[in-house]
Structure formats: structure tokens, C-alpha cells
Amino acid sequence: MEDKEIVALFWARAESAIAETARKYGAYCRAIAANILPSPEDVEECLSDTWLGAWNAMPPQRPAVLSPLLGRIARNAALTIWRRDHAQKRDGGNLAVLDELGECVGGGSLEEELERRRLGEAVRAFLDTLSPQQRRVFLRRYWYCDSLEDIARRYGFSLSKVKSMLLRMRRKLRDYLTKEGFSL
């Protein structure tokens, strides 16, 4: 079923929208959640939260392509579950990957929505300065939370090449954000 048809089901509030979404995008959303969450039960909870989030998002949204919306919902749901499960623990877990970016974008949360949006736009602009290959590696690591080994295998790189690429990109990002006026 095409995305346009699935979105129409959501707008019509047909329960089959969930089943069609799960059929078409279940593996995609499961992969995102599994890269963040260690337990299969948490991944299943995340998928349920993703389908509910999609149900609540449409209407008012009417996306032409569902994968970015569902990917964002799944990632945010997985991060919420991870934070809930690790609220009292400081073990790093699977989200240690996000700490790598902490040196570039600051350790604490930004208080003002305007500043968060400005930072998001700056990161998007930075990604536009990267080659397509660098951008894919960066996103696989920091959006999808893929392991270094998975990235190396996916693109046929050595592990050391992936590590050095990411290190150089983090340094470039830090320099870029500093030039854009962000204090790090």
C-alpha cells in the first residue's frame, strides 16, 4: 500500500491504518528502536508507542512520505523509554553514542525553544557541508545509533576509518557551531 493511501486511512480514522503502517514500516521502526533499547519487550513497547504517535499525528499532519515521520516518532519513543528505564542509573548503556556529540553541542539541555530550533538549523546546515558518504555515516551513528561495527560493515570500511571519520566530523561540527555563535 502506498503512503498516500495509508495517510488517508489515518485521516479516515480507520484502524487498518495501524496494521498497514506496521506491515510496511515495522522492520524500519524496529531497527531504530533496537539500536537504542536493549530488551525486546522495550522494543515492542516502543513500536506500540510509535503507532499511537502516528495515530495522534494524523490529522493534522498529512505527510507525503511516512518514513521520516515514523522514524522520528520511533526514535523519540525509544529515547523516552530508555530515559525512563535509566533515570536512576548512570551506566551509559546504548546511548553513550549520543555523549560523543555532547562535546559539540553542549552537555546540558537548551532552555529556550528558539535556541533549540536555531541549533537544529545549524546542524542541518552543517550536514549540507558534508559529502553524501560522510552525511550517511554521521546519520547512521547519531540518528539511528548504529554501532561502529555496523557502519563499517554497511559501507565496507574498516573500523578505524569509521572512528576517524566520526572524530573529524565531530571536530568540524564543533568548529562550525562555534563560528555560528554557539558557546560550547
pLDDT of residue 110: 36
Kindly report, residue by residue over 11-32, the tens digit of the pLDDT.
Answer: 999 999 999 999 999 999 999 9
Domain ranges of the chain: 3-85, 95-179
pLDDT of residue 88: 56
pLDDT of residue 93: 53
Hey, what CATH topology would domain 95-179 get?
Arc Repressor Mutant, subunit A (1.10.10)
**Which residue shows C-alpha cell 499511537?**
52
Distance of alpha carbon 26 from alpha carbon 46, whole angstroms:
11
pLDDT along the chain (184 residues), means of 10: 96 96 96 92 96 94 93 93 74 56 51 70 93 95 91 96 96 92 80
pTM of this structure: 0.71
Distance of alpha carbon 149 from alpha carbon 170, whole angstroms:
18
Hey, what CATH topology would domain 3-85 get?
Rna Polymerase Sigma Factor; Chain: A (1.10.1740)
